[in-house]
Amino acid sequence: MKKPNIILILADDMGYSDIGCYGGEIDTPNLDRLASQGLRYTQFYNTARCCPTRASLLTGMNPHQVGMGHMTHFDDDIDGYRGDLSKQCLTIAEVLKQGDYGTYLSGKWHVCKQQLSKDGDRSNWPLARGFDRSYGIIGGAASYFDPPTLARDNESIDPPQDGDYYFTDDITKNACGFIKDHCNQKPEQPFFCSLRIQRRIGLCMLAQRQLKSTRVDTPADGIDCGSNG
């Protein structure tokens, strides 16, 4: 039996009913089409925060088991709260590589200690945890227009300064590029691609084109950017 290609999309802080196929206010036609041709789950759990959720999804384990009971900004000197993904566990990428998968990640990593220097420790970056290629931010929530800790593979880089840069578009294009390159270079090998979107965390930062199509209501107690979008 041919091994399936796998695309895993993680979106930060998105509620159960935010997307169209679950009754959301925002149009999500592509996700709705995927849902109509697949499965929609009606019962699930999360860890309520960014880093623990990422750690669980990467490893299939409880976040406390892999040192990520809190956030990467803190090392509480307790095994379950190290703020750095344990190297005693396997990631999904490390497991799939054993099955001859090409492995790719684009987006927000945020499961290792915050790096304050471009020459800092890379031993828990994506390429060290089973991914063949990676692109995105190593740290946590960041500007969509000028994100810090941006890196391609193991190299820290600066985002383009062309005025049209938008982080969500950038990581999506890179994910598509990884898949296209894989299919051109290794057509017989299955791939795993993880797209990790920061889209809903923090402030509401829309690209100019989105301002024209996104409904913005102004209730008495403040601004609601289309369900906190």
Active site residues: 50, 110
Apex 108 CA angle, 23 and 141, nearest 5: 80
Side chain identity at 7, as an amino acid letter?
I
For residue 134, give both structure tokens.
Answer: 């990676």
Which residue is it, tokens 């409880």? 62
State how far the Cα of 219 lies from the Cα of 191, in Å rounded to an integer.
Answer: 46
- Within 88-214, residue ranges assigned H as helices are 92-98, 167-185, 208-211
How would you label 185-214 residue by residue, b for 16+ Cβ within 10 Å and e otherwise? eeeeebbbbbbbbbbebeeebbbeeeeeee
